[in-house]
Structure 1
Amino acid sequence: MRNSTRGTVDPFIVMDVMEAARQAEDAGRHIIHMEVGQPGTPAPAAARDALARAMSDDALGYTVALGLPALRKRIAKLYGDWYNVDLDPARVVVTPGSSGGFILAFSALFDAGDTIVLGAPGYPSYRQIMKAMNIAPLEVETRAENRLQLVPADLAGLSYQGAMVASPANPSGTMLDRDALSALIDTVQGQGASFLSDEIYHGIEYDRPAVTALEISEDVCVINSFSKYFSMTGWRAGWLVLPEENLRQVERLAQNMFICAPHASQVAALAAMDAGEELEANMAVYRANRALMLEGLPKAGFDRIAPPDGAFYVYADVSHLTDDSRAFAREILDEAGVAVTPGLDFDPARGGGTLRFSYARSTADIAEGLERLTRFMRARGFVE
């Protein structure tokens, strides 16, 4: 049977790294996981308890396509609590993870052949989903002096129908402040294009809070998820916030593409949103891990980094050490027992000289991983 041309997308390299790490573990090795952006903590206890009760008491069937009304209302309340934004729950759409949100947003807002601007480095699945939908990703190389974020000057002279940014970003963890985000939104909307804001790492911030695009404009599409701050990666629950005029289009698409987000996950997500004490305990771990990474990575020879404002990644320039980050990451896995992600996932043009380190796991694992990395780099003669 033939393959479609639009289905010919690149692999998600971090998943290949995960598989190689799994094989090493199956062979009896102890691997420190710094490759995947998955919290080392489970879903909050309140979420798991709520699901257990629902499984005993209720039939978990289809929900309406836009999601449980109580969950949409609670998500809208979050915008008031976190950002002082008065959000109508009717504008919230519950999705099967942020990935389902991307598919719905791209389907509703863009036609085949349209172009969406992305900053590089950036989350690789953006461009792969777009390619599979016959939408053209236009990747613009961001610069270190702009902390690897797009700025309006990067868009000058380009033709596009949309632009997407993430703040905090994956892989860098850098954020846009209100003025910088506002300038980008104004630039994109000034071209008559749609602005999409990936806010999946909101809540995981360190020195200052993240800014939602909804503080600046109602005419934006916001994508978020319960995966990161709420520690619910495998539950596949996320949400969109859309302008009112786009809702019916998205609803019809959701009805046909997904029917609804998983009912069980929606029940758990609703309870997770009120698990503040447990979620803040997770943040204490991330803060401790970030401090360890910012101190330990330079000592291990990875000293060309953009200090992360949020998320749980450090993106390192290793072009002085290698031009093949994939092979280098494999050597680190094989020799040091630490799984890290090659930058080729995030920046096909320059990623041969970068690595991403995740610090989402336990503090003990992060400390052990840094020790192993230091020994590896010392054996290679990169550090004394």
Structure 2
Amino acid sequence: MQVSRRSQVDPFIVMDVMEAAAQAEAEGRHIIHMEVGQPGTPAPKGARAALASAMEEGALGYTTARGLPELRAGIAALYEKWYGVTISPERIIVTSGSSAGFLLAFTALFDAGDRVGLGLPGYPSYRQILRALSLQDVGFETTAANRFQPVPEDIADLDLKGLIVASPANPSGTILSRDALEKLIESCRDKDVAFISDEIYHGLHYGERAVSALELSNDVYVINSFSKYFSMTGWRIGWMVVPEDHVRTVERLAQNMFICAPHAAQVAALAALNCDDELSGNMDVYAQNRALMLEELPKAGFTRFAPPDGAFYIYADVSEFTDDSLSFSREILDKAGVSVTPGLDFDPHRGAQWLRFSYARCTEDIREGLARLRRFMMERGHI
């Protein structure tokens, strides 16, 4: 039986890396996970307690396609608290993680064959979801001088229908300033290019907070999730904010594609919005891990990277050690017992000379992983 051409997307390499790490663990090895952006902390206690209570009270069935009204109201309140922005809950669609948000956004905004821009390095699933929807991903190289964030000049000569931007970014962790984000939005508006802002790492910052695109314009799509800041990766719950006149379009797509986001996850997400103390404590751990990485990673020979403003990643240039980051990551897993992600996931061209290190896990694991990396690099003769 044949398969469609659009189904032939590239693998999400970090998931393959996770599989290799899991196999090593199944064989009895102790692996330090620095490959995946998954917090080492569970969902907040209040979220878990709320779901346990709801499960005792009765069945959890379908919700409306846009999500529980009280959850949408809670998310709207979050925008007021974090950014001082008033957003109508009617503009919010609760999704099955940010992945569903990308599917809905790309389907609502673009027709088959449309060209959508994204900066490289960047989150790999953007490219693959676009391809699966018969859209053209137009990757363009960002520069270290711009801290691997796009600038209007990067897209000036590109024929695009849309642009997707992430701040804080994955894999670099860098943040766009208010002025830089505003210039990008204005450039897209002038060219009639749809602007999609991936804000999944908002709340995870170590200095100035990230600016939401909604502070600058209502004519944008914003996608966010409970996965990262709220430590709810496996719950598969996120949201998107769309212009008022797009709500019904996205709602109809959500009705048919997903029916609704999981009711259980919505209950937990609503409670998680009120777990500030616990979430703030998680941020203290990430900040400690970041400081440890910035101090110790150079001692292991990894010296070329932009210090991250947010998220929980460091994207390091390893060109002095290898031009095959996939093989290099496999060697690190095999010999050091540390799982890291090759840059090929994020940049199919330059990524062969880059690695991404995640510091989302507990501090003890990060410290041990750094020690193992240092020993590995010493044994390899690199330091």
SS in 2 for 1:224: strand
In structure 2, the residue matched to 1:135 is 135
Taking the aligned partners of 2:139 and 2:158, their CA distance within structure 1 comes to 11
**Structure 1: runs of 5 or more not aligned:** none
Q: After superposition, give the CA deviation of every residue in 1:73-92 in whole Å (9 maximum; x if it has no partner).
A: 00000000000001111100
Q: After superposition, give the CA deviation of every residue in 1:199-254 in whole Å (9 maximum; x if it has no partner).
A: 00000000111100000000000000000000000001000000001000000000
In structure 1, the residue matched to 2:17 is 17
Q: CA deviation at 1:156?
A: 1.3
Taking the aligned partners of 1:71 and 1:379, their CA distance within structure 2 comes to 52
Please say if 1:145 is aligned against 2:145: yes
Q: CA deviation at 1:55?
A: 0.4
Taking the aligned partners of 2:350 and 2:104, their CA distance within structure 1 comes to 30
2:288 maps to amino acid: A
In structure 2, the residue matched to 1:318 is 318
In structure 1, the residue matched to 2:77 is 77
SS in 2 for 1:6: helix
Q: After superposition, give the CA deviation of every residue in 1:178-212 in whole Å (9 maximum; x if it has no partner).
A: 00000000001110010000000000000111100
In structure 2, the residue matched to 1:63 is 63
Taking the aligned partners of 1:144 and 1:210, their CA distance within structure 2 comes to 19
In structure 1, the residue matched to 2:234 is 234
Q: After superposition, give the CA deviation of every residue in 1:237-287 in whole Å (9 maximum; x if it has no partner).
A: 000000001000000000000000000000000000100000001000000
In structure 2, the residue matched to 1:119 is 119
1:101-250 superposed matches below 5 A: 101-250=101-250
Q: CA deviation at 1:58?
A: 2.2
Q: CA deviation at 1:59?
A: 1.3
SS in 2 for 1:3: coil
Taking the aligned partners of 1:348 and 1:325, their CA distance within structure 2 comes to 11
In structure 2, the residue matched to 1:363 is 363
TM-score normalised by L of structure 1: 0.99
In structure 1, the residue matched to 2:263 is 263
Taking the aligned partners of 1:278 and 1:58, their CA distance within structure 2 comes to 28
Please say if 1:300 is aligned against 2:300: yes
In structure 1, the residue matched to 2:287 is 287
Runs of 4+ in 1 over 6 A off after TM superposition: none
2:258 maps to amino acid: F
In structure 1, the residue matched to 2:92 is 92
Q: After superposition, give the CA deviation of every residue in 1:163-185 in whole Å (9 maximum; x if it has no partner).
A: 00000000000000100000000
Taking the aligned partners of 1:58 and 1:305, their CA distance within structure 2 comes to 51
TM-score normalised by L of structure 2: 1.00
Q: After superposition, give the CA deviation of every residue in 1:66-117 in whole Å (9 maximum; x if it has no partner).
A: 0000000000000000000011111000000000000001111111111110
Please say if 1:29 is aligned against 2:29: yes
In structure 2, the residue matched to 1:45 is 45
Taking the aligned partners of 1:58 and 1:310, their CA distance within structure 2 comes to 40
SS in 2 for 1:37: coil
1:241 maps to amino acid: V
How many pairs align? Answer: 383
Aligned residues with identical type, % of pairs? 67
In structure 2, the residue matched to 1:331 is 331
Q: CA deviation at 1:320?
A: 1.1
Taking the aligned partners of 1:271 and 1:319, their CA distance within structure 2 comes to 45
Q: CA deviation at 1:313?
A: 0.2
1:337 maps to amino acid: G
2:35 maps to amino acid: E
Taking the aligned partners of 2:305 and 2:375, their CA distance within structure 1 comes to 20
SS in 2 for 1:10: coil
1:167 maps to amino acid: S
